[in-house]
Amino acid sequence: MLLYAALDLHSNNNFLAVINNEGKRIDHKKLPNDPKLILEALRPHQTETDGVVVESTCNWYWLVDTLMEAGYQVHLANPSAIQQYSGLKHVDDKHDAFWLAEMLRLGILPEGYRWREGRKRGTPIPAALWEGAVRLCVDHSLCKISSALHLDYNVLKKRFQYACPD
């Protein structure tokens, strides 16, 4: 039996949902953003899991890398292209995670772009990502942006100082 998993990711936790090929809910749980705990939660389903959806929020890189290194087929959901629960009153992380898994099962999941796909760790980060990060630093702290995007703080600081000399 094929299974479909999804992780609704937030800054310090995520919600895992697993469904089968008929859409029946098999498992769900709220987890801290700890790679070991996430992999442990997925392990009982690993051999049957056809894919894992991760919602592409600003902090998804580490999770996608972790899942791919563990051998999962990862799908990065594009949240801006997803129709959310039209007409439903109760929307929460649990429902979001199950909806992501259901869209994967049905083959209608809008996927985002994974710039790291096909590149090895340590390869240069694209200029567009650096430029976007520098623009974000105008309104947000360097520390938060470097942490969320998994960028080197000191390199981002130098780029920011060069782009925005005051």
Q: How far is CA 60 from the centre of its chain?
A: 3
Give the chain's domain count.
2
Which residue spans within 21-148 are E strands per DSSP? 25-32, 49-55, 74-77
Shared-domain flag, residues 33 and 87: yes
Most confident of 7-11, 23-27, 141-145: 23-27
Asked whether residue 119 is assigned to any structural domain, the reply reads no
Give pLDDT tens digits for 104-138.
Answer: 999 988 887 655 555 565 667 777 777 777 777 77
pTM: predicted TM-score of the whole model, two decimal places: 0.68
Q: Is 45 found in the same domain as 75?
A: yes
pLDDT at 26: 97
Residue 19 shares a structural domain with residue 59: yes
Non-local CB neighbours of 116 within 8 Å, separated by 6+ positions: 61, 64, 65
Please, where are the H alpha helices in the chain?
Answer: 35-42, 61-69, 93-106, 127-139, 142-149, 153-163
In a domain, 75, yes or no: yes
State pLDDT tens for residues 19-78.
999 999 999 999 999 999 999 999 999 999 999 999 866 678 889 889 999 999 999 887
Residues 89 and 41 in one domain: yes
Same domain, 80 and 154: no
What is the spatial distance between Cα 118 and Cα 105, in angstroms, rounded to a whole number? 25
Q: Are residues 73 and 146 in the same domain?
A: no
Q: Which domain CATH number covers 12? A: 3.30.420.40
The whole domain housing 10 covers 3-106
**H/E/C letters for each residue in 6-21?**
EEEECCCEEEEEEEEC
Bridging pattern class, strands 3-9 and 13-20:
antiparallel
Same domain for 62 and 98: yes
Same domain, 76 and 7: yes
**In whole angstroms, what is the distance from residue 152 CA to residue 90 CA?**
39
Number of C-beta neighbours around residue 142 at 10 A: 19
Are 91 and 140 in the same domain? no
CA distances from 40 to 37, 46, 121, 133 (A): 5, 10, 24, 32
Q: Running DSSP on this structure, what letter comes out for residue 123?
A: S
Q: How far is the C-alpha of 24 from the C-alpha of 39, rounded, in Å?
A: 22
| Residue 89 and residue 135 share a domain | no
Q: Distance between CA atoms of 36 and 165, rounded to whole angstroms?
A: 42
